[in-house]
Amino acid sequence: MVDLSFVRKDIVPQRAAPLSEAGIVGWFRKNMFSDIPNTILTIIVLYFIISVLSSILPWVFSPTWYSGSLTECRSILAELGRDGHGGGGACWGVIRERWLQLLFGFYPSELYWRPILAFFLLGLALAPVLFEGASRKLLYLTAVYPFLCFWLIWGGSIWFPITVFAGFIIAYVGFVYVNKIAGSLSGVIASIVLPLIWWLFIVSPLSTMLFSILPIGSEAIDSDRLGGFMLAVLIGVTGIALSLPIGILLALGRQSDLPILKGVCVCFIEFIRGVPLITLLFVASTLLNIFLPPGSNFDLILRVMIMVTLFASAYMAEVVRGGLAALPKGQYEAADSLGLDYWKAQRLIIMPQALKISIPGIVSTFIGLFKDTTLVSIIGLLDPLGLSTNIRADMAWNGILWELYGFVGFIFFIFCFSMSRYSMYLERRLATGH
């Protein structure tokens, strides 16, 4: 046998790619200079980036952190030989002096731990909802959190949130008990009527009484001291949390085959989505008190929260409706074939899946709402933008502009960007594929 072969039998060792294709050079060639139009585009973009950075960076890096007023800052810049009239560098002293105010508004500084604690607890309370790995026990915290947060931010008697919370226990107990003796419909009615009576007529005197017996409480903070990013987060979180249940009900109403109910839900949703948020805020600031019983009066922040909740629930309803529509029909049919009634099917089969699908939508609604909280500055609330105006009216910082907007924009960016990244991560994780 002659060892004859027409093709090479052993594999030639792999050679490195040519220098022009490998490594950094290759990467650049492939991704930025692959052909002439691409090269031109790259050069234009590079020129643009360089010109933007070269005008912004020297302005950003400006040693004015310790200046106490605009004039002082400008004299520092002038000493350094820079243009002392705003163009030469940023006056970061205003941020050093007022950053706490931009974060917390006029909240008493010795009590800053309360909103901070509330914010961290918010993270813990949301953990079981947002991350799969989190302990289920944290759900108890989630249930109690709204009351805890209310008490931490506004302070006052601890009995008020506790008695309000008791209303829910009463609703549950009422439902279970009445359900046993008089059927499910009466149970539902009892679970609505009993807590309403409790909240409307018993909570206020009872909490006052309990407070006079056992005065446990913390220093009460007026709403007008709330401001800055704390206010934005507070309005945003309240709006989303409250709008979720309302939005689910509206979405179900819109999907239902009861014509009147459907009509009402569609009208509400389309009305709210058809008008700008600012007009709803005008309603909050000028009209809401006219709609309510003569003499009733609660503060602007609460009124804004009510209107923002209504606003968000219309958008939430559409998000949830999208989730409901994305569920395959087989899920509904399977629930029906198991003989589940409407509410059981919703609770056990439909909603858990639909809500799971809608979480990215809910997060983006939240981002939108959070950004929209800046609109409250137009009706005179001191959100970060409102506070910037206030700071600019101060004589020491009169004429300051970009530093404040830059800071506010930066914080918003960090909040919203991280949330949108989170929502993308969720989208990937939840892509179970029906």
The footprint of other proteins on residues 163-222 (CB under 8 A) is: 163-165, 167-168, 185, 199-200, 203-204, 222
Segment 100-129, which members bind other proteins (CB under 8 A)? 101, 105-106, 109
Closest CB 422 distance from other proteins, rounded Å: 12
In this chain, which of 71, 218, 331, 353 binds other proteins, going by CB under 8 A? 71
Does 302 interact with other proteins (rule: CB under 8 A)? yes
Closest CB 15 distance from other proteins, rounded Å: 26
Token output for 139: 């759900």
Token output for 399: 């004429």
Does 258 interact with other proteins (rule: CB under 8 A)? yes
In this chain, which of 121, 124, 266, 378 binds other proteins, going by CB under 8 A? 378
In this chain, which of 50, 215, 297, 430 binds other proteins, going by CB under 8 A? 297
Do 313 and 366 contact (CB within 8 A), yes or no? no
The SS3 call for residue 262 is helix
Q: Mask of contacts with other proteins, 336-375, x by CB under 8 A?
A: x----xx------------------------x---xx-xx
Cα 208 from Cα 221, distance rounded (Å): 18
Q: Looking at 1-9, 113-121, 210-218, 274-282, which segment touches other proteins (CB under 8 A)?
A: 274-282
Does 395 interact with other proteins (rule: CB under 8 A)? yes
Q: Which CB sits closer to other proteins, 20 or 204? A: 204
Does 150 interact with other proteins (rule: CB under 8 A)? yes
Q: In sequence order, which ranges of 327-377 are alpha helices (DSSP H)?
A: 329-337, 342-345, 351-372
Q: At what angle do helices 402-430 and 351-372 cross, to 10 degrees?
A: 170
Cα 250 from Cα 316, distance rounded (Å): 9
Element housing 217 (H / E): strand 217-218
Q: Which CB sits closer to other proteins, 255 or 289? A: 289
Cα 301 from Cα 226, distance rounded (Å): 9
The alpha carbon of 235 is separated from its chain's Cα centroid by a whole number of angstroms, namely 9
Residues 6 or more apart whose CB falls under 8 angstroms from that of 113 comprise none
In this chain, which of 68, 276, 328, 330 binds other proteins, going by CB under 8 A? 276
Does 394 interact with other proteins (rule: CB under 8 A)? yes
The SS3 call for residue 218 is strand
Closest CA to 370 of 240, 245, 242, 191: 240
Does 161 interact with other proteins (rule: CB under 8 A)? yes
Q: Mask of contacts with other proteins, 22-51, x by CB under 8 A?
A: ---------xx-x---x--xx--xx-xx--
